[in-house]
Amino acid sequence: MAPQAYVQPIVASTSVFKTDLFNGKVLFCTGGGSGICKGMTEAMMRHGANATIVGRKLDRLQQSAKELSAKTGRECLPAQADVRNPASLKEAVAKTIEKFGRIDFVICGAAGNFLAPISGVSENAFKTVMEIDTIGTYNTIKATIAHVRAAKGAYIHVSATLHYSGTPYQVHVSAAKAGVDALSAVLAVEEGPHGVRSNVIAPGPIAGTEGMDRLSPKTHDERFNSAYPVGRMGDVKDIENATVFLFSDAAAYITGQVLPVDGGTEHLRHQFLPYPQAVLEPEKVKHMIKGKL
């Protein structure tokens, strides 16, 4: 029998961290109505925090807030806002302060993405992703910083590993996430003396998320499946555990850092679309793409 690669287990945060770790604390999360950010919010609530989740679709936020409260026994406030609109973010912050009286932690997670080569990304599409990811992060920081300072709290910005080396069909999000990483670094330096920490989580491929479902190839070949040194694709719980750690006092000496949570895939960098065929003949890879081309 051929030797088999070891597969790292998926671990629930409650098996490692105290369940009352964040009692009395409040989380403010943009993009918290779905996907990875919803999982990050659930983890924080599972460990005692109350939360506000922010997004554009109120009906989805309300449903997610009910689910999160039911699962964790904590309070979750749905606040409709567009991170591109500073006034709406300030209103969401005001509602959070009215409801909970404080903001200790902020997750900047609102994002937009699709698949397209540079030649197929319109100027408006590029601008939109930059506005949601980079400017939206800046707007979120501006709207919350006074309260996070008062609480001696922390930020986590959700980035990506796409811009570490050129990723075809991802010019818009690569540029936007590089900007997010830079914002976090400056925030850490400027706000550290005020008691505020700022770090980035850069997820690799995370199974079962809307983004991974839309943006990954329809069929994974063996080359793609073998790209995980830990033996498996990522799980939302992996991001949750990193979130709980970085917001905990155990990470008090960690700020201005980018933490890839990718199972080591960046060290075995594979293009998820065939290269150079994907850039030379984009029409021939359309059948592989779930997202927009």
**Active site (catalytic) residues:** 159, 177
Q: Report yes or no: 10 and 237 within 8 Å, Cβ to Cβ.
A: yes
Q: Report yes or no: 28 and 52 within 8 Å, Cβ to Cβ.
A: yes
Could you give the CA distance from residue 261 to residue 268 in angstroms, rounded to a whole number? 14
Q: Report yes or no: 234 and 207 within 8 Å, Cβ to Cβ.
A: yes
Q: Report yes or no: 80 and 61 within 8 Å, Cβ to Cβ.
A: yes
Q: Report yes or no: 79 and 143 within 8 Å, Cβ to Cβ.
A: no
Q: Report yes or no: 31 and 110 within 8 Å, Cβ to Cβ.
A: yes
Torsion of CA 118, 115, 159, 267, to 10 degrees: -90
Angle between helices 171-191 and 123-130 (to 10 degrees): 30
Residue with tokens 């961290």: 17
Q: Give the SS3 label for residue 156.
A: strand
- Whether the ω angle into residue 193 lies within 30 degrees of 0, i.e. cis, is no
Q: Which amino acid does the sequence have at 102? A: R
* C-alpha distances in Å from residue 3, one per residue of 6, 129, 144: 9, 44, 51
Rounded to 5 degrees, φ, ψ at 241 are: -65, -40
